[in-house]
Each structure stands twice: as structure tokens, then as C-alpha cells.
DNA sequence: AATGTGACATACC
DNA sequence: TGGTATGCCACAT
């Protein structure tokens, strides 16, 4: 598949347990900040490439679980996050800024 | 090649 | 607060 998806998957897989990231941040980290939508799109197909991709750790810039509808269950995403130690309240990540994992820092170092 | 789409982001009303 | 509109760009058809 195209590098874009692969890069997205790699970044998402790099997200540490108990941490979260945003589509825009990932897109920016890949160099295509304007393709934030594609990041979510990639997540949709993520299971086809690597089912183990923790798509639940990726939320929008607001910390909202906007993509929960694409999971097996609307609550699956929240449940997974809670299990990993991420407190989710009202479909949004609590202390999002605090738990936010910046992929740019991890990718920049290479 | 052209058109449609979208798990975003931002702006506007 | 919340819906609507536009930009954006890579993928799908």
C-alpha cells in the first residue's frame, strides 16, 4: 500500500499504552498536515493491514472519540481507553493535553 | 481524467 | 451551543 497509510499505521502503533494522539498531529508528523482526514481514513482500513493497530488511541484534536462509530461497538473505544488507563468521560479523553502523545517528537528523532 | 468521499480542522452564522 | 460551509488532500470508483 502507499507509504502514507503505512506511515500512519506505524505512528499509531508507536503510541504508548495509556496515551492518545490526534489525527491532525499524526498527519502533520507525516508531513501532510492538511491530510488529517486521510489519517482517519487510514484508520478505517487499518484492520485490513494490521488489526492490532490501536485506532482507539487516536482521537480528534478536541479529544473526542469521533471515530467510535466505526468500532465494533460505540462503547468499545471508550472501554479500551479506560482499560489502558485513559480516563474517558462523555466520549472525550480526560486530560487530553496531558495524555497527548506527540508523534512528531518520536518521528523527528528517527 | 474526473468526481465523490471522509474516524479532520477551521471559520462563520 | 450547534449546525452549516469551506479547505484540504489522498484514496476509491
Long-range contacts of A65-71 (CB under 8 A, 24+ apart): A65/A91, A65/A92, A65/A93, A66/A40, A67/A40, A67/A43, A70/A43, A70/A44
How many domains does the structure of chain A reveal?
Answer: 1
Residue nearest the C1' of B6 (CA based): A37
State pTM to two decimals: 0.92
Task: Identify the domain containing residue A92 by its residue range.
Answer: 3-109
- Taking every pair of Cα atoms in chain A, the longest distance, rounded to a whole number of angstroms, is 36
Q: What is the pLDDT of residues A52-93, one digit of tens each?
A: 999 999 999 999 999 998 998 889 999 999 999 999 998 999
Q: Which CA distances in Å does A52 have to A10, A34, A40, A105?
A: 11, 26, 16, 23
- Answer yes or no: is pLDDT of A3 > 90: no
CATH code of the domain covering residue A22? 1.10.10.10
Please tell me whether any atom of strand C lies within 7 Å of the Cβ of A34: yes
Amino acid at each position: 500500500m502507499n507509504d502514507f497509510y503505512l506511515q500512519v499505521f506505524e505512528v499509531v502503533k508507536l503510541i504508548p499504552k495509556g496515551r492518545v494522539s490526534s489525527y491532525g498531529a499524526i498527519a502533520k508528523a507525516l508531513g501532510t498536515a492538511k491530510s488529517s482526514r486521510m489519517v482517519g481514513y487510514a484508520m478505517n482500513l487499518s484492520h485490513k493491514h494490521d488489526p492490532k493497530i490501536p485506532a482507539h488511541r487516536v482521537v480528534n484534536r478536541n479529544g473526542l472519540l469521533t471515530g467510535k462509530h466505526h468500532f465494533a461497538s460505540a462503547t468499545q473505544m471508550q472501554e479500551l481507553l479506560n482499560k489502558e488507563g485513559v480516563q474517558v468521560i462523555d466520549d472525550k479523553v480526560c486530560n487530553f493535553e496531558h495524555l497527548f502523545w506527540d508523534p512528531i517528537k518520536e518521528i523527528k528523532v528517527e
